[in-house]
Amino acid sequence: VSSQFISALMMIGPGMKNGLKLELTGEAVSLPYLHLTTGLMRSLGFEVAIVESEINIAPGLPGKAVSLAVEPDWSAASYWYLMAFLADEADLFLPGFRADSLQGDAELVQLFKPLGLSTSFDENGIRLLKAPIQQKRFEIDLVQNPDLAQTLAVAFAAKEIPAKITGLQTLKIKETDRLVAVKTELEKTGAEVEIGEDYLEIKKGIKKVDGVSFETYEDHRMAMAFAPLALLGEISINHPAVVAKSYQSFWDDLEKVGFTIEQ
């Protein structure tokens, strides 16, 4: 149901005597992550083949060691896109990101473009600059990018942009039921949110955040997606240490750009 389980099996495969063959049934979700796993395993010398709904992993270890530079996490970059989006002005540089990324969440570049954020690449990373918002209503399918759902839901709600996000059927089986969590926390701000089995719709946007205390549900993405709302007023994030799962220096980085944080 989640690409994480498939990627885990793919990485176990080379250590099995006969390798491993996986046959995917039903609708495969988060496909970019499977191609990311495939690409990285191949670059390290493992034999991986994907043909339609079948994945074949050959047994055995690579013949020699390989040096690999690990690209930064595009999912983590989404929170900086959100901060740039909410700020009155923004000129933000994020080092290490590449235009030829295998990560599915690199789709951020296109998703935030109509929201008025332009992304330019150079050999050292990406620069984000603000421009006018190009659309007044959005309908987007995140079946291949479900980790961006919380970021975009907060973005749409904060700017009171009506939006429907679909392809979210896996959000119920993440660290928490992210559909319920996002709805619950956004409605603390006066927003109106509708959820279904695979969608989240922003009906009405945020009215006030000052003084609101947000729960994180043991979910790193809840903490990081709601933190940028501090640009709109003083907020509290409960159990902030959850960010350590994917972005341990998140709060330190916020202080570096001028946020005031008290524990």
**pLDDT tens digits, residue range 89-112?**
999 999 999 998 888 899 999 999
Res. 29 pLDDT band, cuts 50 70 90: low
pLDDT digits (tens, 9 = 90+) for 112-138: 999 999 999 999 999 999 999 988 899
> 131-146 pLDDT, tens per residue?
999 888 999 999 889 9
The pTM of this model reads 0.86
Mean pLDDT score across all residues of the chain? 94
Q: If we measure between CA atoms, which residue out of 160, 163, 121, 157 comes closest to residue 139?
A: 163
Identify the pLDDT of residue 69.
82
Answer whether residue 33 shows pLDDT above 90: no
Of 55, 61, 56, nearest to 14 (Cα)? 61
Reply yes or no on whether 147 is catalytic.
Answer: yes
Listed residue (147, 148, 217, 142) closest to 176, CA to CA: 217
> So what's the pLDDT on residue 23?
93
CA-wise closest residue to 140 among 162, 119, 120, 118: 162
Residue 171 or residue 184, greater confidence: 184
DSSP secondary-structure letter at 189?
A: T
100, 122, 141, 147: which is the annotated catalytic residue?
A: 147
Q: How confident is the model at residue 64 (pLDDT cuts 50, 70, 90)?
A: confident
What pLDDT is stored for residue 2 in this prediction? 75
Query: Whose structure tokens read 């907020």?
Result: 235
pLDDT higher than 90, residue 147: yes
User: For position 53, what pLDDT does the model report?
Assistant: 86
Q: Can you tell me the distance from the alpha carbon of 174 to that of 163, in angstroms, rounded to the nearest whole number?
A: 22
Whether residue 224 is predicted with pLDDT greater than 70 in this model: the reply is yes
Identify the pLDDT of residue 26.
79
Q: pLDDT digits over 238-249, tens only?
A: 999 999 999 999
Look at residues 17, 20, 18 and name the one whose alpha carbon lies nearest to residue 7. 20
What gap in Å lies between CA 127 and CA 119, rounded to an integer?
Answer: 6
pLDDT band for position 154 (cuts 50, 70, 90): very high
Question: How high is the pLDDT of residue 25?
Answer: 87
93 membership: H or E segment, kind and range? strand 91-95
Average pLDDT over residues 10-14: 96
Does the pLDDT of residue 68 top 90, yes or no?
no
**Which of 62-71, 129-138, 224-233 is least confident?**
62-71
Residue 1 pLDDT more than 70? no
Query: If you search the block for the tokens 């896996």, which residue do you land on?
Result: 170
